[in-house]
Amino acid sequence: MIDLPLAGKVVEWHQLFQVVYSALGAAVAVTIAFSVAVAGATRFVEARRDDRPGQAGVWAAVAALGLAVCGGAIALGIIVMTAKT
């Protein structure tokens, strides 16, 4: 992998890379969830304005689901950061 004599003894490279790709995956997932929430809210407003209540309800549920995923990610992050290991 990486051959750094001094840093190789201090840094655990496997754990560092695991944190990096886990954080990248979480960032992508939360970004997609928030995008779904914004898209659902936008489509909800459009459907409501066009007097389509059934379609508006579905889009409201999509927006709520996206916001719930984002809220869950925030709660999980707080729990993980405050947990004592």
pLDDT above 90: percentage of residues in the chain: 81
Matching residue, tokens 């929430």: 37
* Mean pLDDT of all residues belonging to the chain: 92
Predicted confidence band of residue 5 (pLDDT cuts 50, 70, 90): low
Please give the structure tokens belonging to residue 25. 């995956």
- Distance from C-alpha of 81 to C-alpha of 68, rounded to nearest angstrom: 20
Q: Would you list the domain boundaries of the chain? A: 5-82
What's the pTM value of the predicted model, to 2 decimals? 0.79
Q: Kindly tell me the sign of the dihedral angle through the C-alpha atoms of 35, 36, 37, 40.
A: positive
Mean pLDDT of 24-42: 97
